[in-house]
Amino acid sequence: MNKVPVLDEVKSYFDKRIQEHGASPRGSDWNSDVSQNIRFDQLLKVIQEKNEFSILDFGCGYGALADYLAEQEVQFTYYGYDLLESAIDVAKKAHAGKENRHFSSSEETLPVCDYVVASGIFNFRGNESFEAWTDYAVKVLHSFDKLSKKGFSSNFLTKYSDSERMRDDLYYADPLFIFDYCKKNFSRNVALLHDYEVYDFTIVVRK
């Protein structure tokens, strides 16, 4: 396996967005609330029970998923992690006084939760090669497996995007490779969701 990429370029890319746009979809490099919520709907399909659950939002940005969950009227304890300290600072301010919401920029302190979800964390690869970023994505998926009791989900930009709109600094994953890897390494119960109106796909792993 190749060396794990240095994430300084990623941190700089997203720091610029959170500084410019704050607690908003554009602050997490999404175009709108609509596209952000479409992705949340897909990610949350990993959750099957109606009882209270714990969830780790890996790469949480300003914590929009916590508010989205609250609108669904479900009982949850939310943990938001982001390697960007500026994003965590914005999240803590945006969610001040709200119960059962915890934010951290330290991966070492993260608890094992019922579910792990990740939205958009693999999209920007900067100058890293496709191969190196694929190795990195696989490594992080293994972290999701260790941090989740019942399952995890993540989205990726798809290699089936329109070629004229694809950018050289973004990572367009092969959905069939990701599905096959998860099926062979994590669970028999894996779903590939590639039928919603944005240019990405979601992988759902249920244990």
pTM of the model: 0.88
* pLDDT value of position 35: 83
- Is residue 202 within 8 Å of residue 43, measured between CB atoms? yes
Residue numbers of the chain with a pLDDT score lower than 50: 1-2, 4, 27
CA 158 to chain CA mean position, Å? 15
Per-residue pLDDT reduced to its tens digit, 82-121: 988 888 998 999 999 999 999 999 999 999 999 999 999 9
The one-letter amino acid at 26 = R
Which pLDDT score, from 0 to 100, does residue 80 have? 97
What pLDDT is recorded for position 16? 64
Chain-centroid distance, C-alpha 133: 15
Nearby residues of 155 by Cβ (< 8 Å), 6 or more positions away? 39, 42, 43, 118, 119, 120, 200, 201, 202, 203
pLDDT confidence of residue 140 = 96
Q: How many other β-carbons are positioned within 10 Å of the β-carbon of residue 84?
A: 22
Q: Which domains does the chain have, with CATH numbers?
A: 8-206 (3.40.50.150)
Alpha-carbon distance of 16 to 84, in angstroms, equals 11
pLDDT at 11: 58
Return the ∠ at Cα 42 (arms to 38 and 45), rounded to 5°: 140
What tokens were used for 103?
């934010």
**141-157 core/surface letters (b: 16 or more CB in 10 A; e: else):** beebbebbebbbbbbbb
Report whether 46 contacts 118 (CB < 8 A).
Answer: no
Q: Coil, strand or helix: which one is 91?
A: helix
pLDDT value at position 41? 95
Q: For residue 147, what pLDDT is reported? A: 98
What gap in Å lies between CA 132 and CA 140, rounded to an integer?
A: 13
